[in-house]
Structure 1
Amino acid sequence: MSGKRKTSWTIRTIIIIFVLIIFPTIFVSCSMSDDSYSYSYLSAKRKRMSHKVRKMFYHAYDNYMTYAFPHDELKPMTKSFTDSLSELGNLKLENLPQEYNGSALTLVESLSSLVILGNNTEFERAVIWLSENLTFDVDARINLFECNIRLLGGLVSAHILATDSRNRFTQGTYNNQLLDLAQDLGKRFLPAFNTPTGLPYAWINLKYGVMENETTETSTSGCGSLILEMGALSRLTGDPRFEYAALHALHKLWGMRSSLNLLGTTLDVETGEWIEYSSGIGAGVDSFYEYLIKAHILFGKEEYWRMFQSAYLAVQKYFRYGSWYHEADMRTGRATYWQLTSLQAFWPGVQVLVGDITAANLTHREFFRVWKKFGVLPERYLLDHQIVHPTEKYYPLRPELAESTYYLYQATKDPWYMEVGEAIVNSLNLHTKVEGGFASVRDVTTMQLEDHQHSFFLAETCKYLYLLFDDSPLMGRNYIFTTEGHPLPVISDWHEKLPDSYIPRNWTSIKIETQKKHASAMSMQVCPANLASPGHAGHKIESVCHVPDTWSDHRCLTDDDCGIDSTNCRRRSCSMAGYCGLWLFI
C-alpha cells in the first residue's frame, strides 16, 4: 500500500508541477510564438501587397508613357490618348480647343507618387522634360478647380519634394523649374477672380483669360477649395496674390451660408446668389469641408478651425442618418435626396483628422459593404431603394474609399483595414485591369468597361493603397494631402500661430501659450477635448466631434449619433427620450 501511495503521490506531484510550472511555460511560449507568427504574417502580407500595388502603378504609368504621353490621359483599351484637361468638368463638351495637344497631365499627377515609390531616377527625368517642354500659354478653356487640384497642386507638391533634405537630383539639375511653372499657372488663374463678389469663374482660358459670355455658374467646391494649392504657392514664392484671392473667395462663400451653417451646391459668381439649395457632403461640396480642416492644419489659422467646426456640426445634425449621410435643403435642413455618392467616401478620412474615429469607422464600413456588393463603388446608390442610380452606374477608378481606409488604418493600426485594402486591390486587378492599363467601369452591374484611365488613378488610388501597406516614405515629417492626393508638408514657417498638436518633436519653435489646442487623431490618437483658455476662466473650446444638447430640436436615434463628450472623451448614449447623455463608464 505504502509503495502504491508513494507512486500515486509522485504522479500527482509530477502533474501539479506540470500544471503549475511546465504547462504555463509552454503556454507562454506558444503565445509568444503566436504573437511572433502574427507579426511576421502581417509584415509579410504588407510587403506582398505593397509590391502588388507597385506593379499596378507601373502597369498604368508605363502604358501611359508608351501610348499617351505627352497628352493628358490614357485610353487603355485602344492604347491611345485623350487631351482631357479641357474636358474635365465639361459634361456637355462645350467650347473645346482646336489646337490643344495636352499638358502631360498624367505625368504631372504622377510626380509625387514616383517619389513615394522611391523612383528618383524617373522623377528627375520627368522634371527635366517638364522643365524644357511644358507651357501653359495655350488657347484652352479649362475648369479652374480641376486645373488647380491636378496641375497646380501636382507642381507645387513635386517642387517641395524636389527641394527637401533628400538629394533626389544630380547636382545642378534642379533650379526651381516646377515652382516657376506653378507660378506661371497661378498668374493665369487670377483673372477668374475679377468678379463683383470675388468668387472665381469656374472656367478660364489659359491664354486669354475669362472669355466673353462665360457662364457665371460655379460650385461650392469650385470656389471654396483653392486655398491649399494657392496658399502654398504664395508661401513658396512670396507673392501674396494667390492666397489672398483664394481666401477672399472662401470668406465670401462662408458669408453666404444659411442660418443653419449649411451651404448649397451651385451659385452665381456675379450676383452671389444660390442656384441649387440642396446640399450634402458629396459632389459639388465635398472638398469645401476637407479644405477647411486641412487649411487649419497647414497654415494654423484659427478662423479655418472655427469655420470647419460650425460646418461639421451642421453636417452631423442635418445630413447624418445613422451611418449614412443624405442631402438636405440648406435653408430648412429637410432631407432632399437619400443617396450615396462615391465621392462621399472621403468623409471618414476627414473625421479621422479631427478624432471622430467611431463615426468614421461606421460610415466607412457602409461604403465597403456597397463595394463588396458590386466589386467596385457605383457613382450613385439610392439608399431608400438600395439600388444603383439608373443613369450613374459607373466607377471611374475613384480613390476615396482607399483614402479613408488609409486614414483609419493610420489612426487605429487595426489590420482589418489592410484586409479592406487587399479586397480593393484584388477588385481593381480583377475587374479593371486590361493589357493597356486600367480602364474605368461604365456599368457596375455588368462590369462593362470604358476606355479611360483617369490621372487621379496614379495620383491618388495607387498612392493611398501603397501607403496603406508601406507608409515608410512619409516617415519623419507631417504631411497633409490635397483633395487630389498631393502631399504638402506641415511647415512651422507657414504658421502665424502653430497649434501644439501639429508640432513634431524635432521642430524648434516658440510655443504661444494663448494658442488654442486642437488634438489630431493622427498624432495624438485621442478625441479632441475641451481645454480651458488661459486668461478666460471657465471658457471651453467645443470639440468638433461633440454633439451638443443645447439644441432643443436635436434628436438621436442610436448611441452612435451622440459622438464623444468633449470634456472627458467618454462615449455618449442616446436616452429613451431621444437625447444624448454621458455614459457612466468609458
Structure 2
Amino acid sequence: MFPPRNYSASCFLLSLLLLSTFTLSLSQSHSAAKKKRMREKVRQMFYHAYDNYMTHAFPHDELKPLTKSFTDSLSELGNLKLEHLPRDYSGSALTLIESLSSLVIMGNNTEFERAVLWLSENLTFDVDARINLFECNIRVLGGLVSAHLLASDPSKKLFQGAYNNQLLVLAEDLGKRFLPAFNTPTGLPYAWINLKYGVMENETTETSTSGCGSLILEMGALSKLTGDPRYESAALRALRKLWSMQSSLKLFGTTLDVATGQWIEYSSGIGAGVDSFYEYLLKAHILFGKEDFWRMFHSSYIAVQKYFRHGPWYHEADMRTGRATYWQLTSLQAFWPGLQVLMGDIFAANSSHREFFHVWKRFGVLPERYLLDHQMLHPTEKYYPLRPELAESTFYLYQATKDPWYIEVGESIVNSLNLYTKVEGGFASVKDVTTMQLEDHQHSFFLAETCKYLYLLFDDSFMLGSNYIFTTEGHPLPVLNTWHEELPEAYIPTNWTIMKRQAAANRVSAMSLQECPAMTLNSGQHIESCCHISDARSDHRCLTDEDCGVDATTCRRRSCSMAGYCGLWIFI
C-alpha cells in the first residue's frame, strides 16, 4: 500500500495509526462482549445445576438429574449396603458445601449467607457413617475452611448481620474426627474412617499416595485458623513419611500399606492415585511459605519430566526402574498444565494442554481413559463424569498468557457441556463418550470446580486485589503474610493472579505468532522455568538432550552436556 502523490507521509502514518487504533478497539470490544456472553452462559449452567440440586436433592449429598432424586454419595462410598447409616440420615449437604465459594465468586452474597446459616443450624458430623478421608477432606473440610475465610474477610461484606465463625466451628469438629485415622505405626492415615466411632475393626490398611499426601492444605489451614497444631502436624507427618518412601529415581508408587509403610502398586504417573500429591507440594509452598515444600516439589517435578514425559504426553512408569508401564491418557492428568503454569513452565503446559483439548474435540468431552499406544478408548472406562481438569488448566493458561485462544477453548467446553450433558433436571455425567449415553449423577465438583473455573476464565474480577490458591477441589484459600515464615518473592502482589487489564487488552495470540508464552506475562516479571537447571547444579543428571527439554522463559532447546547436566543451546 502506498500513499497518493499529494498525500503527506505524516498524514498517511497518522491515518494508519488511527485505523490500527480503531481496529484494536473493535477487537477489544468484541473480546469483552464474548467474555461477558460466555460468563452469563456459565452462570446459567451453575444455577441450573444448583437450583435443581436444591429442589430435588438437598440436604442430601448429590443430585441424580435424570430421575430428579438424590444420592448420599459421601457416606454411600463406604457403606455400599448402607448398614451403618441411621434410618433418618439425610446426607451432609455436600453439594451445598461445595457450592459456597462458587456463590461468592458469582456475586450471590444473599444465597451464600442463607446457606451458611442453614449449615450452622442443621449440619452435624456425629453420624455412624464410614467415609473416605481424602474425599471428605478436599470436599467438606476444604469447602468449610474456604467459605469461612471468605465469610470472615471484611472486604467481602458477605453478611448483612454478624458472622460468628459458624463454619470454622463445623470445620474444627470434622477435623477432630479425622485425627484417629492417623494413629498408625507409620503416621500414614487410613483411607476410611467412621465419623462417629473412628477407625472400624479390621479396616483396610491400603490407601493411595494422594490419600496420604494431599491433606496439608486443608488441615494446615485449619491449624492456622484454630491455633491447634494437631491437624497440620498429622498431615505433615504423613507427608514426610510418604516422602521418605520415594524410590532412588525420586518416584512414588500409587498405592501403599499404612501399617507397614510398604508399596503395593509400583506403577505411577501424574493421574489417579498420585495427582494431587504433586499439586499439594507446590501449593503448600505458596500457602505456607516453607522452603521444604518447594524442594520436595522441585525434585519430584524433575523426576516426572524425566521418566513420565513423552513429548507432550505423560505415560506411567515403574517407580523402581523408570520403565514405561501404561501408555494412556487419563482425564485427571489434565490438571498438570495448570500446575506447570503455577511454577512457570508455560511452554510445557501449553504443549500438553493442546493435546488434551484435541482429544476433547475428537469425542466432544474428555474420556476417562484413552490408550495412547493403541489410539483407542479404554474398553471399560469410556465415561466422562463432568470433570473440571481441562477447564482448570485452560483458566490458568489464560491467566498467565492472556492468549485469546484459551477463551475459544473455554467456549468450546461450555458448548459441549450444554449440548451433551444438560438435561431438564441438571447436568448428567456421560456414561459412554462414543454414544453420549448419560448416567444419573451430577457430582458436587461440577459446581465446585467445573463451573467455577469456566466462570473465572471469562471473569476473573474475584481475584483482583488478592492472591488465592485453589485446592484440588477448587476451593480458594487466600495467601496471607501471617501464615508465612517468609513469603516467597514470586507471590507478593505482582504475581500472575493479579493481572493488569489494560495490558491484557492489547495481547495478540502467542500461539498464532509462535512466540514463547512465558515472555508475554502481564506482570513484566522474568519467571524462570522450574525445569531450567544450570550446569552449576548437581541435583539433576541427564543422559540425552531429550531429558532436558525446552526452557520456558526463552523457548530455547536445552542440551545435555558431556558432564551430564542440562544447559541452554546458545543461538547467535
Q: TM-score, normalised by structure 2?
A: 0.91
Match in the other structure for 2:227 = 238
Give 2:389's aligned amino acid: E
Q: CA deviation at 1:554?
A: 2.6
Contact kept in structure 2, 1:317 and 1:554, CA below 8 Å: no
Equivalent residue number for residue 508 of structure 2: none
1:24 Cα shift? 3.0
Asked whether 1:141 is paired with 2:130, we answer yes
Q: How far apart, CA to CA, are the structure 2 residues paired with 1:149 and 1:65?
A: 22
Separation in structure 2 between the aligned mates of residue 583 and residue 462 of structure 1, nearest angstrom: 42
Question: Match for residue 47 of structure 1?
Answer: 36
Which residue pairs with 2:568 in the alignment? 582
What is the CA-CA distance between 1:546 and the residue it aligns to? 1.6
| Residue 493 in structure 1 maps to residue 482 in structure 2 | yes
* Paired position in structure 2 for 1:296: 285
Structure 2 vs 1, CA of residues 41 and 221 (structure 1 numbering), >3 Å: closer, same or farther? Answer: same
What pairs with 1:140-159 in structure 2 (closer than 5 Å)? Answer: 140-159=129-148
Aligned to 1:9: none
The alpha-carbon deviation at position 585 of structure 1 amounts to 4.4
CA distance in 1, matches of 2:565, 2:379: 38
- Whether 2:408 is the aligned partner of 1:419: answer yes
Would you say the 8 A contact 1:356–1:563 is kept in 2?
Answer: no
Residue aligning to 1:171: 161
Partner of 1:532: none
**Cα distance 1:440–1:575, how it changes in 2: closer, same or farther (>3 A)?**
same
* Letter in structure 2 aligned against 1:494: W
Match 1:333 to one of 314, 322, 344 = 322
Distance 1:313 1:552, change over 3 A: closer
Distance 1:95 1:389 in 2: 34
The alpha-carbon distance between structure 1 residues 500 and 347, as it changes in their structure 2 partners (threshold 3 A), is same
Cα contact 2:561–2:567 (8 A) shared by 1? no
More displaced 10-residue stretch of structure 1: 42-51 or 493-502: 493-502
1:584 aligned partner, one-letter code: I
| Counterpart residue identity of residue 556, structure 2 | R
Deviations 1:529-560 (A, max 9, x none): 4xxxxxxxxxxxxx6222567766532449xx
Aligned residue number for residue 516 of structure 1: none
In the alignment, what sits opposite 1:204?
A: 193
Which residue of 2 is the match for residue 564 of structure 1?
551
Task: Write the distance in 2 (CA, Å) between the matches of 1:114 and 1:327.
Answer: 38
Alignment of 1:287 onto 2:295:
no
Q: Quick one: distance in 2 between partners of 1:239 and 1:55? A: 41
Deviation at 1:521, TM superposition (A): 10
* In structure 2, distance between residues paired with 1:408 and 1:289: 18
Q: Distance in 1 between matches of 2:82 and 2:158?
A: 42
C-alpha deviation, 1:562, in angstroms: 1.6
Determine the structure 2 residue equivalent to 1:536: none
Structure 2 letter corresponding to 1:115:
V
Cα distance in 2 between the residues matched to 1:22 and 1:225 = 63
* Residue type at the aligned position of 1:241: R
- The alpha-carbon deviation at position 473 of structure 1 amounts to 1.4
- 1:94 deviates by 8.2
Matches of 1:339 and 1:379, distance apart in 2? 10
User: Displacement, 1:208?
Assistant: 0.4
Instruction: Write the mapping of 1:265-276 to structure 2, written as runs, cut at 5 A.
Output: 265-276=254-265
Alignment of 1:282-431 (within 5 A): 282-431=271-420
- 412 and 500 in structure 1: CA distance in 2 versus 1, 3 angstrom threshold: same
Contact persistence 1:572–1:580 (CA under 8 A): no
The amino acid of 1:35's aligned partner reads L
Alpha-carbon separation, structure 2, partners of 1:196 and 1:92: 28
Match of residue 546 from structure 1: 532
Name the SS of the counterpart of 2:75 in structure 1.
coil
Q: What's the CA shift for 1:30?
A: 1.5
Partner Cα distance (2:370, 2:52) in 1: 32
Q: How far apart are 1:29 and its partner, in Å?
A: 1.8
User: In 1, Cα distance between the equivalents of 2:24 and 2:217?
Assistant: 43
Q: 1:526 to 1:260 in 2, by over 3 A?
A: farther
CA contact (8 A) 1:266 1:274 kept: yes
- The answer as to whether partners of 1:502 and 1:523 remain within 8 angstroms in 2 is no
Q: Which amino acid aligns with 1:502?
A: Y
2:19 corresponds to: 30
SS state at 1:60 partner: helix
Match of 1:8 in 2: none
Aligned match for 1:468, one of 442, 453, 457: 457
**Given residue 182 of structure 2, which amino acid in structure 1 is its aligned partner?**
F
| Contact preservation (8 Å) 2:3, 2:9 | no
- Structure 2 portions without partners, runs of 5+: 496-517
Q: Who wins on radius of gyration, i.e. which is larger?
A: 1
Against the structure 1 CA distance between its residues 521 and 105, is the aligned structure 2 distance closer, same or farther, given a 3 Å change threshold? Answer: farther
Q: CA deviation at 1:489?
A: 0.1
Residue aligned with 1:85, SS: helix
Question: What one-letter code is carried by the residue in structure 1 that aligns with 2:325?
Answer: T
Partner of 1:261: 250
Offset, 1:524: 5.0
Distance change (3 Å), C-alpha of 1:522 and 1:146? farther
Deviates more, 1:26-35 or 1:250-259: 26-35
Percent identity, aligned pairs only, is: 75
CA deviation vs aligned residue, 1:115-157 (integer Å, no higher than 9, x gap): 0000000000000000000000001000000000000000000
Q: Is the 8 A contact 2:534 2:565 kept in 1?
A: no
- Cα pair distance change 1:576/1:184, threshold 3 Å: closer
Q: TM-score, with normalisation over the residues of structure 1?
A: 0.88
Q: Distance in 2 between matches of 1:358 and 1:525?
A: 17
Deviations 1:470-507, CA, capped at 9 Å, x for gaps = 0001211000000000000000000111112212279x
Aligned residues between the structures: 543
Residue in 2 that maps onto 1:97: 85
Alpha carbons of structure 1 residues 410 and 34: separation in structure 2 relative to 1, 3 Å: same
CA–CA separation in structure 2 for the residues paired with 1:395 and 1:472: 30
Q: Secondary structure at the match of 1:36?
A: helix
Matches for 1:213-228 after TM superposition, within 5 Å: 213-228=202-217
For residues 571 and 352 of structure 1, what CA distance do their matches in structure 2 show?
Answer: 18
Deviations 1:21-43 (Å, cap 9, x if unpaired)? Answer: 44333322221111000000000
AA in 2 matched with 1:194: N
Q: CA offsets per residue over residues 71-119 of structure 1, 9 Å max, x none?
A: 000000110000100244x597786635332000000000000000000
Aligned twin of 1:538: none
Distance 1:353 1:156, change over 3 A: same
Aligned match of 1:452: 441
Per-residue deviation, 1:571: 2.2
Q: Cα distance 1:574–1:94, how it changes in 2: closer, same or farther (>3 A)?
A: farther
User: C-alpha distance in 2, partners of 1:111/1:14?
Assistant: 60
| SS of alignment partner, residue 562 of structure 1 | coil
Tell me if structure 2 keeps the 8 A contact 1:527–1:569: no
The Cα offsets for residues 145-181 of structure 1, whole Å up to 9 and x where unpaired, read as 0000000000000000001022211223x20000000
In the alignment, the residues of structure 2 paired with residue 275 and residue 160 of structure 1 have an alpha-carbon distance, to the nearest angstrom, of 38
CA shift in 2, pair 1:505/1:374, >3 Å? closer
Point out where structure 1 has 5 or more consecutive residues left out of the alignment. Answer: 1-12, 507-518, 530-542
Q: Which residue does the alignment assign to 2:236?
A: 247
Report if the CA contact (8 A) 1:186-1:242 is conserved.
yes
* Cα distance in 2, alignment partners of residues 562 and 33 from structure 1: 41
Residue 437, structure 1, aligned to residue 426, structure 2: yes
Amino acid at match of 2:121: E
